[in-house]
Structure 1
């Protein structure tokens, strides 16, 4: 609990007041001199925005059974149907669903089109989307603004690691940072100052893509808590026309 409070840059007094307990009681919980109730763990986790996977670890540390289940995406019923609907409805633009470690859970036909020519070593399940994208043998060969895009991805993963402490994410970030520095790529997109785009070279022409990230609100399942849907949009009319022609 102290680790999460420190990660959130919160003082004991601040958290204690927000969770309606004394600073002394919180100190005793953090040092193991007091065992919190289930309700107290839930209140503190809500206040510190602790991910569900880590909440289960805190329940176990206090001697309780984990509260949040973890089912595969295929067993998530209506939530799985929602993911499928978003992916299919986003055609002809690419969209994919990943977990907290950026492992591919599902993708629409347009996204599969871009991943089709990757070497087998980068496609072994579970495919890691960031590795497949930024590895020198991966999609990075087609990214025209690789220097700009890789810097953006590194910052994003760093923020995600600070917020979630997801297992394996630190190793993934270190791996990305170890890839050779990009060469012979343009530094930035000259056409837009709205967002950092993904500039992708294809056999059909160059694409300029924006992206959004969608997560589930109020998840109670660990898998659902860690799912993110990455949806890409054309940044110009030429890209929109190319996407329609490329996906048939």
Structure 2
């Protein structure tokens, strides 16, 4: 027979474990919740009137929250965060700043059950073309066989010290193999800047600064211009490989309505051949690799 003390101990342990998982996602800050909310509103270039109407509260109440004269309820924080599209990690910080427990957990990718299986299915199903999963700072989380083939051995694991953009643009990385490096570098830097504005994720500003510090290539007059030919539908990645030059397009897939921080921050980058020649080379390269 299980005693009451044993049940209580198990319940307390489970609760403590869940609390630790939730709290691990929160960024500790000494700033008041109103200051954080105002910063997100200004980042989204929204007026108090606009946000208050959309979130169904008075402008005066929103002003009182932002100036610290009123403390928002948990429900009010949720409504404002939904309206301002605040990332889940930062929502946890807002809850903590208001004196509430954070809401959103952060699990390892392997512990995400059906979501993890969905990532694996997309990566495997995209063969023989490269596909990889990255977090908000473009740190590698998973990759398929084709991606490992062209990124190298470092793409074989989920070591977050491997940054896909650093490996792409660093002079000792793939940069020497990118035929349209000036064009691709300009595209990548714009993308990181947009990501920084949208998420304000920790480490992104440092990543952008490091990428910008890499030597800027001189545009090759015989190669594609930085802005690309007028008939280009998208900016391709033109990559030299042992099998020939590849022209690749990419799409980005994210989870809809995530409730976990990891799912909120993960993106799957899938590359497609931009022409029939690249499609043939990709199939041949993957077949040759076994």
**Alpha carbons of 1:184 and 1:2: their partners in 2 closer, same or farther (altered >3 Å)?**
closer
User: In structure 2, which of residues 177, 192, 202 is the aligned counterpart of residue 157 of structure 1?
Assistant: 192
User: In structure 1, which of residues 85, 105, 109 is the aligned counterpart of residue 141 of structure 2?
Assistant: 105
For these two proteins, the number of residue pairs brought into alignment is 244
- Provide the residue aligned with 1:224 in structure 2: 263
Partners of 2:250 and 2:269 within 8 A in 1: yes
**Distance in 2 separating the partners of 1:115 and 1:133:** 8
**Alpha carbons of 1:21 and 1:54: their partners in 2 closer, same or farther (altered >3 Å)?**
same
User: Is 1:10 the counterpart of 2:46 in the alignment?
Assistant: yes
User: Is 1:88 the counterpart of 2:124 in the alignment?
Assistant: yes
Deviates more, 1:215-224 or 1:21-30: 21-30
Deviation at 1:191, TM superposition (A): 9.6
- Provide the residue aligned with 2:16 in structure 1: none
Unpaired stretches in structure 1, ≥5 consecutive residues: none
User: Is 1:133 the counterpart of 2:168 in the alignment?
Assistant: yes
User: In structure 1, which of residues 34, 37, 42 is the aligned counterpart of residue 70 of structure 2?
Assistant: 34
Cα deviation 1:65-99 (Å, max 9, x = unaligned): 00000001010000000000000000000000000
User: Is 1:45 the counterpart of 2:81 in the alignment?
Assistant: yes
Cα deviation 1:167-187 (Å, max 9, x = unaligned): 100110111111111147523
Report the 3-state secondary structure (helix = DSSP H, G, I; strand = E; otherwise coil) of the residue aligned with 2:196: helix
**Distance in 1 separating the partners of 2:229 and 2:76:** 52
- Provide the residue aligned with 2:247 in structure 1: 208
Report the 3-state secondary structure (helix = DSSP H, G, I; strand = E; otherwise coil) of the residue aligned with 1:247: helix
- Provide the residue aligned with 2:206 in structure 1: 171
**Alpha carbons of 1:124 and 1:89: their partners in 2 closer, same or farther (altered >3 Å)?**
closer
Partners of 1:146 and 1:187 within 8 A in 2: no
**Distance in 1 separating the partners of 2:262 and 2:268:** 13
- Provide the residue aligned with 1:242 in structure 2: 281
Partners of 2:139 and 2:161 within 8 A in 1: yes
Whose relative contact order is higher, 1 or 2, with alpha carbons under 8 Å and at least 6 apart? 1
RMSD across aligned positions (CA): 1.6
Partners of 2:252 and 2:268 within 8 A in 1: yes
**TM-score normalised by the chain length of structure 2:** 0.81
**TM-score normalised by the chain length of structure 1:** 0.95
Matches within 5 A, 1:18-29: 18-29=54-65
